[in-house]
Amino acid sequence: MKITVRDIPEEGLEISEAFDPRGMELELRDRVTYQSPLAVKGAATRMDTKVHVWGEARAEVRWWCSRCLEEFNRPFRQKFDLYYFEQSLDSVIDTAASIREEVLLAYPMQSFCRDDCKGLCPRCGLNRNRGKCRCMDTRQNPFGKLKDLL
Ligand SMILES: [Zn+2]
Ligand SMILES: [Zn+2]
């Protein structure tokens, strides 16, 4: 959003805006897609020409589980604090790029559909949250085959 420094009153300026996640390039292929706009709520205050913008960004987001590769929905929330110092009263602050950066940095390196996600079987690729394959049985009993031979 664009804010002219002069327009920020002494008591502060309430900000509320919905960003288009695609236009803002917030989605990551096979990792993060948006189910809603990025809703930003907060406020801007200033001391003379020093401006502080803060608030929270929220969205309904679909993630891909790093372990089992299934998609799941989980709300995203990130607080932000932005400071602008080198301004004049006529400066126009555009917060979009900084908010985008804060949001991208807040994405987890890995996301899990649930804490105890069992992931995929490395041998047969079965989603272990959905059922059991036989691969684990032979691993748990490495002497099974040997015993058959004796
Ligand atoms: Zn998972
Ligand atoms: Zn398996």
Expressed in angstroms and rounded, the spacing between residue 73 Cα and the centre of ligand 1 is 12
Place of tokens 């301004």: 87
Expressed in angstroms and rounded, the spacing between residue 129 Cα and the centre of ligand 1 is 8
pLDDT at residue 1, as a whole number: 83
Please name which of 138, 132, 137 lies closest in space to residue 120, comparing C-alpha atoms: 132
pLDDT band at 135 (very low <50, low <70, confident <90, very high): confident
Please name which of 43, 121, 128, 30 lies closest in space to residue 80, comparing C-alpha atoms: 43
pLDDT at 144 over 60: no
Expressed in angstroms and rounded, the spacing between residue 110 Cα and the centre of ligand 1 is 11
Expressed in angstroms and rounded, the spacing between residue 136 Cα and the centre of ligand 1 is 18
- For residue range 90-107, list pLDDT tens digits in order: 999 999 999 999 999 999
pLDDT at residue 128, as a whole number: 94
pLDDT at residue 137, as a whole number: 59
Percent of the chain beyond pLDDT 90? 83
Expressed in angstroms and rounded, the spacing between residue 81 Cα and the centre of ligand 2 is 47
Work out the average pLDDT over 53-66: 97
